[in-house]
Amino acid sequence: MANDYLESVKKQFSYYKMLGEKAMAQLPEEKLFWQYNTESNSIAGIVKHLWGNMLSRWTDFLTSDGEKEWRNRDAEFDNDLPNKEVLMAKWNEGWKCLFDAIESLTTADLGKEIFIRNMGQTVTEAINRQLAHYPYHIGQIVFMAKMVCGNNWNSLSIPKGNSKEYNEAKFAKPKHTEHFTDEFIKDKNE
């Protein structure tokens, strides 16, 4: 069961990484830096925040506090990345740090206590915390991209008006066990 948990976590993080990438790919470069107003974040700012959080949380995951002394969280929200290339490099660096840490875990690690800002939690709780945090921000990226694209948006899930057909196709298959991201993985590998 615990091994299934780690596999599920990897699939879910991969799925949300893919959603963010597919949303950003639909935008011209300058729109990645667009802000609705001065109080809101650009997609680039959200990516910087995810990058900073991932590096802080997942570097030396089992042995040091998840809020590193070198992290400058406030600067993560500055809209100061020069271009999409730098933005995507940070995006990929953060995700690599996360996946490297997850890959190094064993089922025996799941009950260990780690700390984030001196607050103890199990490895499982810390993973769940990030599995809620990152999709929250990926949802913001998707929503902003959808707003900017308007009628040119390519749906990342079931397009409006297609629920009936989608469900008919699903229910036409016999009951089976499958992780909800398996379709994504199959599509990606084909």
Tens digit of each residue's pLDDT, the chain (190 residues): 556 999 999 999 999 999 999 999 999 999 999 999 999 999 999 999 999 999 999 999 999 999 999 999 999 999 999 999 999 999 999 999 999 999 999 999 999 999 999 999 999 999 999 999 999 999 999 999 999 999 999 999 888 899 999 899 889 999 988 888 887 766 555 5
CB 181 within 8 A of CB 11: yes
pLDDT digits 0-9 by tens, 103-123: 999 999 999 999 999 999 999
pLDDT of residue 183: 78
pLDDT of residue 159: 86
> Domain extents for the chain?
2-159
Q: Does domain 2-159 fall into CATH 1.10.287.70?
A: no
